[in-house]
Amino acid sequence: MNDALMKEYEKTFMDKVTVIHAGFDEKPHTVAFVMVDKTLSDLEKCEEAFMKTNTIDEAWWCNDGVEYIGDEPTCRSTSTNDFVLIGNTKYKCSRVGWEKV
């Protein structure tokens, strides 16, 4: 698929959410933009962003739909007390699920 067609597809069917790491007593910092299906609920978008920013078989920053923008060449996985920003709404990753903040 050419770049122009891909950008139009993403604009029509996908949302870009922001992943912010703040757990482990870190100063909050943005580590990635993640493309998620526009039709998902906010909580489903959080779950997809979480899944895409966790290392399982390979480094998460290599996953499709992830634009890594961290300061370092590597980065830990998303975890408890990190955030996902969807538009102007921020969600905190809690021990179980997500809390709107």
Average pLDDT over residues 25-30: 93
* Selection from 62, 67, 78 nearest residue 33 by Cα: 67
24: which 2 tokens? 């482990």
Q: Answer for the pair 29, 53: CB distance below 8 angstroms, yes or no.
A: no
Map out the domains of the chain as residue ranges: 3-100
Q: Mean pLDDT for the chain?
A: 92
The full DSSP string for the chain is --HHHHHHHHHHHEEEEEEEE--TTPPPEEEEEEEEETTS-HHHHHHHHHHHTS-SSS-GGGSTTEEE--SSSS-PPP-TT-EEEETTEEEEE-SSSEEE-
pLDDT higher than 60, residue 17:
yes
pLDDT higher than 90, residue 49:
yes
pLDDT higher than 60, residue 1:
no
* Selection from 56, 58, 55, 11 nearest residue 35 by Cα: 11
pTM: 0.90
Q: Answer for the pair 43, 98: CB distance below 8 angstroms, yes or no.
A: yes
